[in-house]
Structure 1
Amino acid sequence: MSKSVILSIFIFLLAFNALGQEGCTLTIRGKVLHEENNEPIVGAYVWLIDSETGAVTDTQGNFRIQKICPGELTLRVQFMGHKEYFEKIILNSNLNMTIRMKAEDIQLEGVEIHGHEDALLTTNTVSGIYGEELRLSRGQNLGETLRRIPGITSFSSGSSIQKPVIHGLHSNRILILNNGVRLEGQQWGADHAPEIDPFLAREISVVKGAETVRFGPNAMGGVILVNPAPLPVKGGQSGEIDLIGFSNGRGLNGSVGLLGGSEKLKGLGYWIQASSKFAGNLQTPDYMLDNTGVREMNFSGALGYSNSRLGTEVYFSHFQTTIGILTDSHTGNLSDLESIIENGRPFRNPDFTFDIRSPKQNVDHQLLKVKGHYHLADGAKLNLQYAFQRNHRQEFDRRRGDLNSRPSLDLMLFTNTIDLSYNHQTRKNWNGSVGVQLIQQANSNIPGTGVVPLIPNYDMLNVGFFAIEKFTSGPLEIEGGLRYDFRHVEAARINRGGILQEDVFDFNNFSAFIGAMYPITRNLTFNTNLGSAWRPPSINEQFSQGLHHGLAGIEIGNPDFVSEQSLKWMNTLNYSDSKFNIELTGYTNRINNYIYLNPTEEQFVSIRGTFNVFEYLQTDAFFAGADLSAIWTLSSHWEFFSRGSLVRAKNTTEDSFLPFIPTDRLETGLSYNFLTGISKKESKISFSNLAVAKQKREPDFDLAPAPPAYMLWNLGLQTGIQMGDNKLNIGLQVTNLFDAAYKDYMNRFRYFSHEMGRNVMIKLNYEF
Structure 2
Amino acid sequence: MAQQDCNLTIRGKVIHAENTEPIESAYIWIIESEIGTVSDFNGLFRFSNLCPGIYTIKIQYLGHQDYFEKLEISNNSNYTFRMIAEDIALDGVEIHGHQDALLTTNSVSSIYGEVLRSARGQSLGESLKKIPGVNTYSSGSTIQKPVIHGLHSNRILILNNGVRLEGQQWGADHAPEIDPFIANEISVVKGAETVRFGADAMGGVILVNPAPLPVKAIKKGEIDLIGFSNGLGLNGAASFTGGSEKIKGLGYRLQGSSKIAGNIQTPDYMLANTGVQELNFSGAIGYSRSRLGTELYVSNFRTTIGILPDSHTGNLSDLESIIENGRPFRETGFSYDIQNPKQEVDHQLVKAKIHYHLNDGSKLNFQYSFQRNHRQEFDRRRGEFNNRASLDMVLFTNSIDLSYNHQTRKNWDGVLGAQVMQQANSNIPGTGVIPLIPNFDMLNLGIYAIEKFTNGPLELEGGLRFDSRQVAAARIIRGDLQERDFTLNNFSAFFGGVYALSKNFTFNSTLASAWRPPNINEQFSQGLHHGLAAIEIGNPDFESEQSFKWLNTLNYTGNSLNIELTAYANRIDNYIYLNPTEEQFVSLRGTFNVFEYLQTDANFLGTDLSAIWNVSSRWEVFSRGSIVRAKNLIEDSYLPFIPADRLETGVSYQITSFASKNNTKFSISNLAVARQNREPDFDLAPAPPGYQLWNLSAQTSVNLGKNKLNMGLYANNVLNEVYKDYMNRFRYFTHELGRNVLIKFNYEF
In structure 2, what is the Cα distance between the partners aligned to 1:679 and 1:522? 35
Aligned position for 1:571: 552
1:679-694 to 2 correspondences below 5 Å? 682-694=663-675
Q: Aligned-pair distance for 1:742? A: 0.4
Asked if structure 2 preserves the Cα contact closer than 8 Å seen for 1:720 and 1:729, the reply is yes
Partner of 2:598: 617
Paired residues for 1:400-415 under 5 Å: 400-415=382-397
1:46 positional shift: 2.5
In the superposition, the TM-score normalised over structure 2's length comes to 0.95
Distance in 1 of aligned mates of 2:63 and 2:527: 61
Whether 2:744 is the aligned partner of 1:763: answer yes
Alpha-carbon distance in structure 2 between the residues aligned to 1:231 and 1:313: 9
Residue identity in the other structure for 1:649 = A
Equivalent in 714, 718, 725 of residue 744 of structure 1? 725
Tell me the alpha carbon deviations over residues 536-586 of structure 1, each in whole angstroms, 9 at most, x when there is no partner.
000000000111111110000000100000000000000011201000000
Post-superposition Cα deviations, 1:12-47, rounded to whole Å, max 9, x if no partner, equal xxxxxxxxx965658575644389x99753342434
| Aligned with 1:645 (options 626, 630, 634) | 626
Please, which moves more after superposition, 46-55 or 548-557? Answer: 46-55
**What residue is the counterpart of 2:570 in the other structure?**
589
Count how many residue pairs are aligned between Structure 1 and Structure 2: 742
**TM-align CA RMSD:** 2.2
- Alpha-carbon distance between aligned partners in 2 of 1:151 and 1:680, rounded to the nearest angstrom: 35
Structure 1 residue 75 displacement after superposition: 3.3
Q: Distance in 1 between matches of 2:510 and 2:412?
A: 19
Paired position in structure 1 for 2:267 = 285
| Superimposed CA distance per residue, residues 240-288 of structure 1 (whole angstroms, 9 cap, x where no aligned partner) | 0000000000010000001111111111001110000000000000000
Aligned residue in 2 for 1:15: none
- Among residues 192, 196, 202, which one is paired with 1:210 in the alignment? 192
Instruction: Look up the equivalent residue of 2:184 and give its one-letter code.
Output: R
Which has the higher mean CA deviation after the structures are superposed, 668-677 or 479-488?
A: 668-677
2:648 to 667, 689, 697: 667
Is this contact kept in 2: 1:34–1:40, CA < 8 A?
no
Which of residues 707, 713, 736 in structure 1 aligns to 2:688?
707
Residues 370-417 of structure 1, C-alpha deviations (whole Å, 9 max, x = no match): 000000122100000000000000000000011010000000000000
Distance 2:178 2:362 in 1: 32
1:52 Cα deviation after fit: 3.9
> 2:91·2:216 contact (CA, 8 Å) conserved in 1?
no
Deviation at 1:84, TM superposition (A): 9.6
- The percent of aligned pairs where both chains have the same amino acid is 69
What amino acid is the match of 2:607?
A: A
Tell me the CA shift for residue 89 of structure 1. Answer: 3.7
Deviations 1:336-388 (A, max 9, x none): 00000000000111010000000000000000000000001221000000000
Distance 2:73 2:27 in 1: 23
Q: Deviations over 1:65-90 (max 9, x none)?
A: 678544454534355x5589474746
Q: Which amino acid aligns with 2:378?
A: F
SS in 2 for 1:403: helix
Residue in 2 that maps onto 1:633:
614
Matching residue of 1:6: none
Give the aligned partner of residue 262 of structure 1.
244
| 1:501-543 CA distance string (max 9 Å, x none) | 0000011100000000000001100010000000000000000
**How does 1:179-198 map onto structure 2 within 5 Å?**
179-198=161-180
1:650-691 C-alpha deviation (Å, 9 max, x unpaired):
000110000000000000010000132367861011000000
CA contact (8 A) 1:40 1:114 kept: no
Aligned 8 A contact 2:86 2:290 in 1: no
- Code of the residue aligned with 1:546 in structure 2: it is G
TM-score (norm 1): 0.93
Conserved? CA contact 2:354–2:367, under 8 Å = yes
Deviation at 1:332, TM superposition (A): 0.6
C-alpha distance in structure 1 between counterparts of 2:41 and 2:460, whole Å? 18
Match of 1:8 in 2: none
How far apart are the structure 1 equivalents of 2:319 and 2:48? 64
Does residue 718 of the first structure (1) align with residue 702 of the second (2)? Answer: no
Is 1:99 equivalent to 2:83 in the alignment? yes
Separation of aligned partners in 1, 2:623 and 2:60: 33
8 Å Cα contact 2:21/2:99 also seen in 1: no
Which of these residues, 525, 529, 536, is aligned with residue 506 of structure 2?
525
Do the aligned partners of 2:65 and 2:83 also contact (CA within 8 Å) in 1? no
| Contact 1:72–1:88 (Cα < 8 Å) also in 2 | no
Does the aligned pair in 1 maintain the 2:602–2:630 contact within 8 Å?
yes
Name the SS for the 2:454 alignment partner: strand
* 2:304 is aligned with 1:303: no
Residue equivalent to 1:558: 539
- Counterpart-to-counterpart distance in 2, 1:679 and 1:628: 36
State how far apart, in whole Å, the 1-side matches of 2:11 and 2:287 are: 33
Mean alpha-carbon deviation: is it higher for 257-266 or for 350-359?
A: 257-266
1:450 to 409, 419, 432: 432
Deviations 1:176-207 (A, max 9, x none): 00000000000011100000000000000000
Offset from partner CA, 1:622-658 (integer Å, 9 cap, x none): 0000000000000111001000001000000110000
Question: In structure 1, which of residues 19, 33, 42 is the aligned counterpart of residue 16 of structure 2?
Answer: 33
SS of corresponding position for 1:379:
coil
In 1, are the aligned partners of 2:522 and 2:538 still within 8 Å (CA)?
yes
Q: Take 1:26 and 1:760, find their aligned partners in 2: how far apart are those partners?
A: 46
Long gaps (5+) in structure 2: none
Q: Confirm whether residue 234 of structure 1 aligns to residue 239 of structure 2.
A: no
**Aligned pair partner of 1:173 in 146, 155, 159:** 155
Q: How far has the Cα of 1:615 moved from its partner?
A: 0.2
Q: Name the counterpart of 2:206.
A: 224
Q: Which residue of the other structure, out of 429, 447, 455, is the alignment partner of 1:473?
A: 455
Give 1:249's aligned residue.
231
- Name the structure 1 match of 2:483: 502
Quick one: which amino acid aligns to residue 683 of structure 1?
Answer: T
2:129 matches 1:133 = no
Offset, 1:62: 6.8
Q: Report how far residue 116 of structure 1 moved.
A: 1.8
Structure 1 partner of 2:520: 539
- Structure 1 segment 390-409 matched on structure 2, within 5 A: 390-409=372-391
Change (3 A) 1:144 1:115: farther
> Does the residue aligned with 1:192 lie in a helix, a strand or coil?
coil
1:370 aligns with 2:352: yes
Q: Which residue of 2 aligns with 1:326?
A: 308
In structure 2, how many angstroms separate the alpha carbons of the residues matched to 1:315 and 1:78?
32
**What is the distance in 2 between the residues matched to 1:674 and 1:98?**
37
DSSP 3-state at the match of 1:147: helix
Cα gap change, 1:585 to 1:420, in 2 (>3 Å): same
Partner of 2:370: 388
Q: Tell me the CA shift for residue 63 of structure 1.
A: 6.1
Q: Is the 8 A contact 1:368 1:388 kept in 2?
A: yes
The one-letter amino acid of 2:222's match is E
Supply the distance in 1 between the matched residues of 2:11 and 2:676 (Cα, whole angstroms).
Answer: 48
Counterpart secondary structure, 2:130:
coil
Question: Does 2:154 match 1:154?
Answer: no
3-state SS, counterpart of residue 378 of structure 1: coil
- Structure 1, gaps ≥5 residues long: 1-20
Aligned partner of 2:39 in structure 1 is: 56
Which whole-Å CA distance do the structure 2 matches of 1:753 and 1:184 have between them? 31
| Structure 2: distance between partners of 1:629 and 1:369 | 36
Tell me the distance in 2 between the aligned counterparts of 1:715 and 1:681. Answer: 20
Alignment CA distance shift 1:407-1:96 (3 Å):
closer
Question: CA distance change for structure 1 residues 621 and 38 in 2, over 3 Å: closer, same or farther?
Answer: closer
